[in-house]
Amino acid sequence: MAYAMDTKGRQKSKGGKQIVAAIDIGTTYSGYAYSFAHDFRKDPMKVYGITNWFPGTVHLVTSKTPTILLLNNDKTFKAFGYEAENMYGELQPEGVQKDYYYFKSFKIVLYNSLELKGDTEITDAFGRTMKAVKVFSIVIEYLKDHLYGGLKHILLDVDDNDIRWVLTVPAIWNDSCKQLMRDAAELAGIQKENLIIVLEPDAASLFCMHLPVARITMEGNMSDSMRVSPFSKGRKYMVVDAGGETVEITIQEVIDSDKPNTLHSFGGAWGGTGVDAAYENFLTTIIGEKTYDRFKTESAEDHIDLLRKFETKKRGVIAGKTGKDVIKIPVCLADVYQETTGKGLKDRICEIREYQDKVKWNGDKIRLDVDIVKSWFDKSCTDIVQLVKKIFHDDKSVGVNTILLVGGFSESQMLQEAMKRNFPDKRLIIPEEGSLMVLKGATIFGHTI
């Protein structure tokens, strides 16, 4: 690939930019990455800007930050990500949270919209509405400015015309959804001539095409015909992008050495947050809905802390583990139960037959059978497996014998084992850091267009 030079003697991408920056706004987590034209020529996989985000309250580090937006009462920016979640937790006990706009999981609105218009609105946690295009533009602007801050930190002199921006979108989105994101990007200060849109499964596939064979983990009983490269020209394969709240499954075909093409797409609201819901249902079964609702309202910071600690726990659940497990719980949860019911939690657990000798609650810890913990993954994993099976029975999947598993939930060993167990005759490819495949692939895409 030939590279031109800019006025400062720096190499430019095929699109005439020295930097490609990608923004991925997910239903649960969001982030950005960038790469340089001079690096791409030598190593397309050399990507920068994958930021470590810290919630500040628990031992948890993520490569993306939660897709949570907090705005002031006048709809101006207040905070995003973990910071927004922390501030919201602090505001609730003070009773002033309704003076703010709090948007969480708002991307799901676009999944459910058959027809979007410029005035389509998103509803926040308190029923207050705001134009969807404005909400997304504020998020894009925040991530854009955060990226610029990183570039300035390494003393890089760049301006808007030095960067080609890539925005990722689901393959199942219609044209109106994609146009809304273009409009949002323009509102965020990205000129339309500097912006390109890439489908998320195309981006994930593109990155995996550049992975050395040694770094591709392949599972399954492979026939001789399956041992050739899954990304050679003309090959068809399935991409299962398992995220936090949504799962998107696409059938793709390689039309050139660096050009995946989405043929068919399917999706639904199944993902890793279903495990969180099962965990909260477990707690509600023990302490009751009234107590749990009071805990979430009066101890919002502790509720956030509870879910973050569980996020750390769920990332380490091993399919083959047996015996007992321990989960950290805020002490105040037991106190709220005592105040609400006049009973102790130890006595309450003894009343639940299915948990006798399997669950013990002591202070800030629950000790329980690991099979109970693993059962919280059942519905999410089963839903994904059943959808994949349904698609394989469709004529559109004829000739597909490879599954590429990516997305945040793809890093769960519970899901990985469920896929291996149910599709032993398929080649299953599980890249490392599956949650970053879309973001990294999007930077590659920006250099090749």
Tens of pLDDT along the chain (449 residues)? 344 445 454 455 555 688 999 999 999 999 999 999 999 989 998 999 888 898 877 777 889 999 999 999 999 999 999 999 999 988 876 767 778 999 998 888 777 665 666 678 999 988 899 999 999 999 999 999 999 988 888 767 787 788 999 999 999 888 888 999 999 999 999 999 999 999 999 999 999 888 765 455 566 555 545 555 678 888 899 999 999 888 999 999 998 766 888 889 888 777 889 999 999 999 999 999 999 999 998 898 999 999 999 998 998 899 988 999 999 999 999 999 999 999 888 889 989 999 988 999 988 999 999 999 999 999 999 999 999 999 999 998 999 999 999 999 999 999 999 999 999 999 999 998 899 999 999 999 999 88
Would you say residue 12 lies in a domain? Answer: no
Q: CA distances (Å), 19 to each of 23, 39, 166, 189, 255, in order?
A: 13, 10, 11, 17, 26
Which one, of 276, 318, 272, 311, lies nearest residue 417 by Cα?
Answer: 318
pLDDT at res. 223 = 52
Question: Would you state the structure tokens that stand for residue 106, as one six-digit string?
Answer: 């708002």
Q: Which contacts of 223-229 are long-range, i.e. CB under 8 A and separated by 24 or more positions? A: 225/401, 226/401, 226/402, 226/427
Handedness of CA 144, 433, 135, 88 (dihedral sign): negative
Handedness of CA 334, 339, 341, 346 (dihedral sign): positive
pLDDT at res. 153 = 80
Counting the structural domains of the chain, the total is 3
Instruction: Fill in the amino acid letter for 377.
Output: F
Strand partners, 241: 248, 406
User: Both 331 and 299 in a single domain?
Assistant: yes
Which one, of 202, 211, 249, lies nearest residue 229 by Cα?
Answer: 211
Distance from CA of residue 416 to its chain's centroid? 17
Tell me how long the chain is. 449
CB distance 200 to 248 below 8 Å: yes
Which one, of 241, 165, 178, 182, lies nearest residue 207 by Cα?
Answer: 241
User: Both 224 and 150 in a single domain?
Assistant: no
Provide the CATH number for the domain around residue 227.
3.30.420.40
User: Both 194 and 251 in a single domain?
Assistant: no
**Going by DSSP bridges, is the β-strand pair 365-369/324-328 parallel, antiparallel, or unpaired?**
antiparallel
pLDDT at res. 2 = 40
User: Both 122 and 229 in a single domain?
Assistant: no
User: Both 237 and 294 in a single domain?
Assistant: no
User: Both 322 and 394 in a single domain?
Assistant: no
- Orientation of helix 273-287 relative to helix 378-392, angle to 10°: 140
Question: Would you state the structure tokens that stand for residue 253, as one six-digit string?
Answer: 């075909």
**Rg value, the chain, Cα:** 23
Question: Given 339, 360, 375, which residue is the final one in a domain?
Answer: 375
User: Both 245 and 130 in a single domain?
Assistant: no
Question: Would you state the structure tokens that stand for residue 76, as one six-digit string?
Answer: 């101006």
User: Both 29 and 154 in a single domain?
Assistant: yes
pLDDT at res. 255 = 87
Domain residues for the domain of 93 are 19-200+439-448
User: Both 225 and 310 in a single domain?
Assistant: no
The 10 Å CB-count burial string (b at 16+, else e) for 10-49 is: bebbbbebbbbbbbbbbbbbbbbbbbbbebbeeebbebbb
Question: Would you state the structure tokens that stand for residue 368, as one six-digit string?
Answer: 């329980």
DSSP tag of 62: B
User: Both 131 and 266 in a single domain?
Assistant: no
Q: Give the span between the Cα atoms of 362 and 402, in whole angstroms.
A: 47
Identify the H or E element spanning 238. strand 236-242
Would you say residue 353 lies in a domain? Answer: yes
